[in-house]
Amino acid sequence: AQSVSQHNHHVILSEAASLELGCNYSYGGTVNLFWYVQYPGQHLQLLLKYFSGDPLVKGIKGFEAEFIKSKFSFNLRKPSVQWSDTAEYFCAVNARGAAGNKLTFGGGTRVLVKP
Amino acid sequence: GAVVSQHPSRVICKSGTSVKIECRSLDFQATTMFWYRQFPKQSLMLMATSNEGSKATYEQGVEKDKFLINHASLTLSTLTVTSAHPEDSSFYICSAELAGAGDTQYFGPGTRLTVL
């Protein structure tokens, strides 16, 4: 079975600081990778996704993520955060070919950006 | 595009009653929808996969007789929590899979269920 781990449960940083959130997964086969964001009081929104091709993926709102196959990682980055990036971020993995295309979520990382 | 709605957004009910939650894909058709449960300050846990025109597939540990899922059309799936108890209080979230988009799931806003 696949599993996803996010290393940081909480991150606090100031505006303009750089952000990197770690995500590692365990699955021996081919995967689709996602980062979702949940702003306070809102529903999950897709930030970016990786299926194939260039391992550096650019998403919305200035976020990007890099898939490193050898490390089973898909870390999320943003060079300069804003107060509005305060949210919870979830990494998710979909093992290709698995019955039902199920997403497995990491535990989430709460990010607080101080103005 | 790819908007998913849920209704109701919030429901309070007495113990022993049943509650139905609707999930709709508003601008696309979804042969597959998913139901998740999210406890406070925790991640999403998949409950079941809802397939249009067939029976849902439940995750291990999820009671299929308690959480009834019906996917009657390509834009609607319903989750009925039968004989709800306080321990069923939670945030229920659905998602719909957009075919042709690499199996990307788009999420609804969730339904907060409180069982008294």
| Cα distance between residue A21 and residue A108, in whole Å | 10
What are A36-69's pLDDT values in tens digits? 999 988 889 999 999 889 999 999 999 999 999 9
Q: Write down the pLDDT at residue B96.
A: 93
Chain A residue nearest residue B108, CA to CA: A43
pLDDT of residue A43: 86
Q: pLDDT band for B110, please (50, 70, 90 cuts).
A: very high
Instruction: Mutation target for B interface from A30, A31, A44, A90: give the one with most B CBs within 10 A.
Output: A44
> CA A65 → CA A18, A56, A59, A79, A109, distances in Å?
13, 6, 8, 11, 15
Which three-class secondary structure string do you get for chain B?
Answer: CCCEEEECCEEEECCCCCEEEEEEECCCCCCEEEEEEECCCCCEEEEEEEECCCCCEECCCCCCCCEEEEEEECCEEEEEECCCCHHHCEEEEEEEEECCCCCEEEECCCEEEEEC
Percentage, residues of chain B above pLDDT 70? 96
The residue-averaged pLDDT of A92-111 equals 82
pLDDT at B2 exceeding the cut of 90: no
The pLDDT score that the predictor gives to residue A41 is: 84
For the stretch B15-61, pLDDT in tens is: 999 999 999 999 888 888 999 999 887 889 999 999 888 889 999 99
Residues of B in contact with A60 (CB under 8 A): none
Q: What is the pLDDT of residue A97?
A: 63
Q: Which of A16, A17, A14, A20 is nearest to A35 (CA)?
A: A20
With contacts defined as CB-CB under 8 Å, which chain B residues touch A103?
A: 34, 46, 95, 105
What are the percentages of helix, strand and coil residues in chain A, rounded to 5?
10, 55, 40
* Whole-angstrom distance, CA of residue A23 vs CA of residue B111: 28
Domain ranges of chain A: 3-114
Name the band, by pLDDT with cuts 50, 70 and 90, for residue A31.
confident
Determine the average pLDDT of the residues in B96-103. 73
Nearest CA in chain A to B3: A45
Backbone angles phi, psi at B99, to 5 degrees: -65, 140
Count CB pairs under 8 A between chains A and B: 46
Query: What CATH number does the domain located at A3-114 have?
Result: 2.60.40.10
Quick check: A88 pLDDT over 70? yes
What pLDDT does A99 receive? Answer: 54
Residue A100 has pLDDT above 60, yes or no: no
**How many C-beta atoms lie closer than 10 Å to residue A27's C-beta?**
17
Which residues of chain B have a Cβ shorter than 8 Å from any chain A Cβ? 32, 34, 42-46, 49, 57, 93, 95, 97, 102-110
**Who among B103, B106, B109 is closest to A32 (CB)?**
B103
> What mean pLDDT value characterizes chain B?
91
Question: How far B42 CA sits from the closest chain A CA (Å)?
Answer: 6
Burial of B62 (0-12, 13-18, 19+ CB in 10 A): middle
Residue in chain A lying closest to B31 (CA) = A100
Instruction: Find out whether A34 and A74 touch, Cβ atoms under 8 Å.
Output: no
